[in-house]
């Protein structure tokens, strides 16, 4: 039976350390969250992020725009936050209501305040192996792996999914940890047999319980990023949890695995951004 990775406990521990770090700062880090429209899931996520900020001593600024806000309205809000000295991090909650184009709005966020790590500048820094702000969910998964393994060098990793938010940066982070990485997607052939070779399987697809026990080799580390609701309203991941747990050595649950780590990394990125913005200029 696999060890069930307690992402909630690891995140709580990280948040506790961050709280002490924030208390010792001479300034208060600030995170602005921009929420457009009234998508119920987004409202829940935003509430969770704001609550987490309060706990560690980060000041949060919530900016709610109506569902009929225009591209220009959101751009103006981002411009104002870019210029606001009290705001060190800006998060545009996705998805935006239909008809709006998130891409140019994300690129409008100042790279130094881009705590989601989605601007081209930060994506480029990640590709180049340079310091920047890295996307929260893949960074959280990296920490979960490093909690168990001193080194990831030489491990075969399969990342299922190639989104800019998760799959692509996750593969890049694993590559930088000297893994051999298969980046899989909807056109990948023989996905099950690729997974079967992997020491690390990370599923980020959005398909309930897609990864089956016979896809996974004994002893694998399986990270489930997916968040899905079944017809009965139950929250499940992309991995057939009970069957895979009987075979793997490590597995993350849904909920309580990757999700809390995403929020913990958002807080870390906000404090990192605030520290960089408050650094005395080098002479």
- The span of 59-67, 117-125, 184-192, 274-282 binding ligand NAP (CB under 6 A) equals 184-192
* Minimum CB distance to ligand NAP smaller for 11 or for 273: 11
The torsion angles phi and psi of 36, rounded to 5 degrees, stand at -110, 125
With CB under 6 A, what is the number of residues at the site for ligand NAP? 25
**Euclidean distance between CA atoms 22 and 249, whole angstroms:** 36
Out of 184, 239, 244, 272, name the contact with ligand NAP by CB under 6 A.
184
Footprint on residues 144-163 left by ligand NAP (CB under 6 A): 160-163
Q: How far is the CB of 211 from ligand NAP (least distance, A)?
A: 10
- The span of 100-108, 192-200, 241-249, 256-264 binding ligand NAP (CB under 6 A) equals 256-264
Contact 94, 52 (CB under 8 A): no
* Minimum CB distance to ligand NAP smaller for 132 or for 260: 260
Contact 170, 205 (CB under 8 A): no
Torsion angle, alpha carbons of 155, 220, 224, 255, to 10: -130
**Euclidean distance between CA atoms 23 and 98, whole angstroms:** 41
DSSP helix, strand, coil percent of the chain (3-state; round to 5): 45, 15, 40
Q: How far is the CB of 231 from ligand NAP (least distance, A)?
A: 16
Out of 106, 141, 204, 267, name the contact with ligand NAP by CB under 6 A.
204
Footprint on residues 105-144 left by ligand NAP (CB under 6 A): 137
Three-class HEC string of 163-200: CCCCHHHHHHHHHHCCCEEEEECCCCCCHHHHHHCCCE
Instruction: Indicate which residues carry an active-site annotation.
Output: 49, 93, 116
Binding stretches for ligand NAP (CB under 6 A): 137, 160-163, 165-167, 184-188, 191, 204-207, 225-228, 258-259, 262
């Amino acid at each position: 039976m696999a060890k069930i990775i307690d992402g909630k406990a690891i995140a709580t521990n990280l948040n506790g350390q961050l709280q002490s770090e924030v208390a010792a700062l001479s300034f208060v880090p600030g995170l602005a969250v921009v929420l457009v429209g009234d998508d119920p899931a987004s409202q829940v996520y935003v509430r969770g992020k704001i609550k987490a900020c309060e706990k560690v001593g980060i000041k949060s600024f919530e900016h709610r725009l109506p569902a009929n806000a225009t591209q220009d309205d959101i751009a103006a809000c981002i411009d104002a936050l870019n210029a606001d000295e009290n705001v060190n991090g800006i998060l545009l909650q996705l998805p935006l209501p239909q008809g709006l184009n998130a891409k140019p709005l994300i690129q409008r966020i100042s790279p130094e305040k881009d705590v989601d790590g989605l601007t081209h500048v930060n994506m480029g820094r990640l590709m180049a192996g340079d310091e920047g702000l890295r996307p929260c969910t893949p960074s959280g998964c990296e920490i979960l792996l490093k909690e168990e393994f001193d080194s990831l060098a030489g491990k075969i990793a399969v990342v299922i999914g190639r989104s800019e938010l998760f799959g692509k940066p996750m593969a890049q982070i694993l590559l930088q940890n000297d893994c051999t990485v298969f980046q899989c997607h909807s056109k990948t052939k023989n996905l099950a047999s690729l997974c079967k070779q992997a020491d690390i399987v990370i599923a980020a697809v959005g398909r309930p319980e897609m990864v089956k026990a016979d896809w996974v080799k004994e002893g694998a580390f399986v990270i489930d990023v997916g968040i899905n609701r079944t017809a009965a309203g139950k929250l499940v991941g992309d991995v057939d949890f009970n069957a895979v747990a009987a075979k793997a050595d490590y597995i993350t649950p849904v909920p309580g695995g990757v999700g809390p780590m995403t929020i913990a990394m958002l807080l870390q990125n906000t404090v990192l951004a605030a520290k960089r913005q408050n650094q005395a200029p080098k002479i």
